[in-house]
Amino acid sequence: MKVLVGKYVKTHGIKGEIKVRSNFLYKDRIFRAGKKIFIKDQEFTIKDYRKHQEYDMLTFEGINDINQILSLKGNFLYANREDLGLKQEEYLDSDLIGLDLYQNNIFVGKVRDIAFITKNKKLLVINSHYVPFELIKKVDLKNKRIDIEEVLGLL
């Protein structure tokens, strides 16, 4: 299964380096030499990675010219989920969508979406309410349940 890890937003220089915007939590496991990335169903092997300002910069094996990669600009980058090596207690933001949300063992709704406010600020979208990630006490993927701290007037 492929997971979204970023978006190719610009090129950098003439040798095929690309600028990627990513708020993917486990990018340190994917943006490494030798790892596979997919852009528009094409497979690329990462040759080099570096951070530059707010961008993740990638070069790929076999890509030595901007013209070899320019046509894919604007597309999303994906990786194989298995390549992440997630531990049992680790999860992706997308795994939370559809889970039941509880506050004090009372069902308050299902997670409809994840809203990204800033790079490090995310909110669960429950019906028409937003719940900060910081309030999550426990995520139970097996039972499809999220427990959050009680905040009066939140929901």
pLDDT tens-digit readout, 58-78: 999 999 999 999 999 999 999
Q: Locate 4 and state its tokens.
A: 């979204």
Prediction pTM value? 0.77
- How many other C-beta atoms can be found within 10 angstroms of the C-beta atom of residue 105? 6
Q: CA dihedral defined by 1, 29, 118, 69, rounded to 10 degrees?
A: -70
Give the helix/strand (H/E) hosting 8.
strand 2-12
Per-residue pLDDT tens over the stretch 79-132: 999 999 988 888 898 899 999 999 999 898 899 888 877 656 667 777 777 888
Name the class of domain 93-148: mainly beta
| Beta-bridge partners for 109 | 101
Given a cut of 80, whether residue 39 has pLDDT beyond it is: yes
Name the segment(s) of the chain with CATH classification 2.30.30.240.
Answer: 93-148
Task: Give whole-number Cα distances, 27 to 5, 14, 145, in Å.
Answer: 7, 25, 25
Mean pLDDT of the chain: 89
Which helix (H) or strand (E) is 79 found in, with range? strand 76-80
Kindly tell me if the per-residue pLDDT of 144 is higher than 70.
yes
> CATH number of the domain at 2-84, out of 3.90.226.10, 2.70.170.10, 2.40.30.60, 3.40.30.10?
2.40.30.60
* Half-sphere exposure of residue 9: CA atoms within 13 angstroms, side-chain side: 11
Distance in angstroms (rounded) separating the CA atoms of residues 73 and 9: 6
**CA count, 13 A, side-chain hemisphere, 148:** 27
